[in-house]
Amino acid sequence: DVLSAVSPPSDAALRRARRARDAELHLGRLRNVPAQIRAEIGRVEIAAGDLAQLGERDVVLVDALTCRPDQGEGGTARLRIGTGQVGHLDAEIIVEDGRCQARVTGVTVGTPAPPSEVISSEGSGGEGASEEDPSTNPGSGRDDLEDAQGAAGADLMNDIPLQISIELGRVATTAEEVVGLKVGYVFDLNRVAGEPLDLSVNGKIIARGELVEIDGNLGVRILSLAG
């Protein structure tokens, strides 16, 4: 709960040990559960409406990147698994013989992000609200009203912030292998330095792009859109 997140109970270490023991006992059930490790080297916030209008050759400006594979330079990355909301693995990115590798340097665990607020599609008038009978007013302009409401809904999309993750690469794995990851473990990201990067939202790849510099600002130019 919230209080335990702010002030961890005195037996927190014991609870973690118990969860780790339970995980080992049931590890066999996870043997064939697929998972993906995503190497994230940057993030940028964008409005949902702007994201919907992105096209090829558009550039998304980035505040900072933790790695510059376009220049053959290593750095750091956050390795996210699944939704990546509870925590991540810290990693050092190594470029060796033109290939990008990730070496696990630590584990960061936090509290889950709060669920997104759901906007109901139902009317807010309540049970006592009345609706004009279209049969008594054929020229009520219902179609125009619905069009106006749809346009207003599209405008409201601009108020929805989304996080675009800039990914260096992904590695297919299993839940069992994730549990066994230790500090010092090194794996290949199956990406050559200088190759296009992936852009994703909530773990879903939406585009591929290349790093560019425009007037001293770092950005990602969209090369292709997913789907």
pLDDT the model gives residue 80? 94
Predicted local distance difference test score (pLDDT) of residue 140: 53
Predicted confidence at residue 142, as pLDDT, reads 59
DSSP structural state of residue 108:
E
Model confidence pLDDT, tens digit, residues 148-192: 555 566 677 677 889 999 999 999 998 888 888 899 999 999 999
Do the Cβ atoms of 209 and 197 come closer than 8 Å?
Answer: yes
User: What burial letters (b/e) apply to 188-211, b meaning 16+ CB within 10 Å?
Assistant: ebebebebbbbbbeebebbbbbeb
Mean pLDDT of the chain: 80
Closest CA to 33 of 68, 69, 81: 81
Q: Which residues contact 169 (CB under 8 A, 6 or more apart)?
A: 38, 39, 100, 189, 190, 191, 198
Whole-number Å distance between alpha carbons of 227 and 196: 17
Instruction: Specify the higher pLDDT residue, 201 or 8.
Output: 201
pLDDT score for 156: 73
Count CB neighbours of 5 within 10 A: 10
Q: pLDDT tens across 153-164, in order?
A: 667 767 788 999
* CA dihedral (204, 209, 213, 214) positive or negative: negative
Name residues whose C-beta falls within 8 Å of residue 100's C-beta, 6 or more positions apart in sequence.
39, 69, 74, 93, 94, 168, 169, 188, 189, 191, 192, 193
With tokens 């409406």, the residue in question is 49
